Amino acid sequence: MSKSVQNHRITHPKSPLTCEIAVIGSGPGGAITACLLAEAGRDVLLIEEGSYFSLESCRAFSQAELEQKYRNGGLTAAFGKPKIQYVEGRCVGGGSEINSGLYHRTPPEILEKWQTEFAVESLTEAELLPHFEACEQAVTVCKLPGKPPLASLKLHQGAVSLGWQSLEVPRWFRYQAQTDPAVTPKGTRQSMTQTFIPRAIDAGCKLLTNTRINFIRKQGKQWFIKGNYIPDYQSKQAVEIQAKTLFICCGAIQTPALLRRSGITKNIGNSLQMHSTVKVIAQFNEIVNSKDMGVPVHQVKEFSPRFSFGCSISSPPYLAVGMTDHPQYKHEVDQNWQKMAIYYAMITGQGQGSVRCLPGFRDPLVRYHLTQQDLKDLSEALQKLSQLLFEAGAKILYPSISNFPRLTQPNDLKHIPDLLPKSQTNLMTVHVMSSCPMGENLEKCAANSFGKVHGFDNLYISDASLLCTAPGVNPQGSIMAITRRNVLKFLGKL
């Protein structure tokens, strides 16, 4: 932790804390909001439930990271048929500290859909462009300057061979200068603790970590924010914060949960969306994996927006967990993990879910309903991904369907049913959004076109909850650009 962060971090909060603007949640939405407001000279307090960890505090995608930085240790699921496992960050920097940093701008057709169906104002591609560019510069979005991981190249080769569109996705990453283009380059992942949070602190923003907010209440012209400061497992201290303006940036699950706990429920937590994802472990004859494989960067967008494909983190522990769906072949991971990699097929989907608070419990209940069309899309996506992987030279495929036969030749693809079996299919997602959509359509939207909660003064949402629907691509580029746009509007600079 830098000296500047140490100096601006509140370690023993004395109630009531007062500030002009309180920002709850320090993921991309909260960190950018706090940064831009502080840089505009506002008195800002950034509140985070998790602890402050540097990016180097643990190995990326490791068990230690799961324990340190994930909410509920990564054991979170949306209930439905089938269940969908999802993950959220719970640390300073939020989801930006635990993801791959793959970056996309919001597709223009999605922006058009949001304007038409949700009546979002001033959200054309041209209007968002300066915000995309500013955020891309701030987090160093760039393409890999050297050779991509072999497993990533396999996906690309399979797509090219079939004549399907495949692209290298840029990442938030600061690469080390290198001269050998045949080597996968090293560098530093970028995240909020590397970028916007130090900027916010340098501009005078105060940081209160380890503080869970239980509810918010408006009294007169002030927002009263009540929570608990929990620096360790042994101690807990009640905290009250008073602020004139409040930004809630806790992510697509925790933002609606906090609002609903506080009695604010209109269009809140009713329209959750996620990119449901089915995985396949592919086994090749040659080596495609290594201990320092890095993040695969190719995605196949031939069937976008319905579904797209990519390659996942494929370390031996992840491979071994994936292979629990095929217990008779688990020895293959021990013997051949270097020839194996995990691939995914992700659908945009039409399903919706909800976020609800359960009386007497701290954590919200998340439910999700996949439509018949979603299940068909998942099945078709799995078939097409398997076809691609065979084309790329895969010898054996293990889909994430419990006790489903492994696929050893293209002819086996006909065994994949038109609707994936609900009781056996294991789905996951790393993209959750749209639980408090923005727009002027009062029947659907929780907040206005710039994130102000309908019916409440000085209360704003600024995170993935605002995205009207699932964008079909990694949403963090959209979250960052829309956050910047909304904060500049708040500051009267738009």
Partner 1 sequence: MINQLFKNTASALCYSIIQQSGEPIHSSSVFPHNDVVRFVLQQHNRMPDYLRFPIVFLTLLFNFWGFIVRGYPFSRQPHTMRWCQISAWKNAPISICRDLMRFYESLVVLCWKSEQIKELN
Binding site for partner 1 (CB under 8 A): 62-63, 66-67, 72-73, 75-76, 83, 291, 315-318, 320-321, 324, 327, 330, 333-334, 358, 361-363, 365, 402-403, 423
Backbone angles phi, psi at 353, to 5 degrees: -135, 180
Between residues 217 and 422, which has the closer beta carbon with respect to partner 1?
422
Q: CB–CB of 169/179 below 8 Å?
A: no
Between residues 324 and 408, which has the closer beta carbon with respect to partner 1?
324
* Polymer length in residues for the chain: 494
Determine if the peptide bond prior to 296 is cis (ω within 30°).
no
Between residues 4 and 324, which has the closer beta carbon with respect to partner 1?
324
Closest approach, Cβ 147 to partner 1, in A, equals 24
Closest approach, Cβ 366 to partner 1, in A, equals 9
Between residues 180 and 361, which has the closer beta carbon with respect to partner 1?
361
Between residues 1 and 321, which has the closer beta carbon with respect to partner 1?
321
Is-catalytic flag, 275?
no
CA end-to-end distance (rounded Å), the chain: 34
Between residues 182 and 361, which has the closer beta carbon with respect to partner 1?
361
Between residues 214 and 402, which has the closer beta carbon with respect to partner 1?
402
Between residues 133 and 363, which has the closer beta carbon with respect to partner 1?
363
Closest approach, Cβ 77 to partner 1, in A, equals 9
Closest approach, Cβ 398 to partner 1, in A, equals 14
**Type of residue found at 9:** R
Closest approach, Cβ 317 to partner 1, in A, equals 4
The residue annotated as part of the active site, out of 8, 104, 298, 431, is: 431
Closest approach, Cβ 465 to partner 1, in A, equals 19
Tokens found for residue 325: 């769906």
Going by C-alpha positions, the residue among 181, 199, 182 that lies closest to residue 38 is: 199
Where in the sequence numbering do the catalytic residues fall? 431
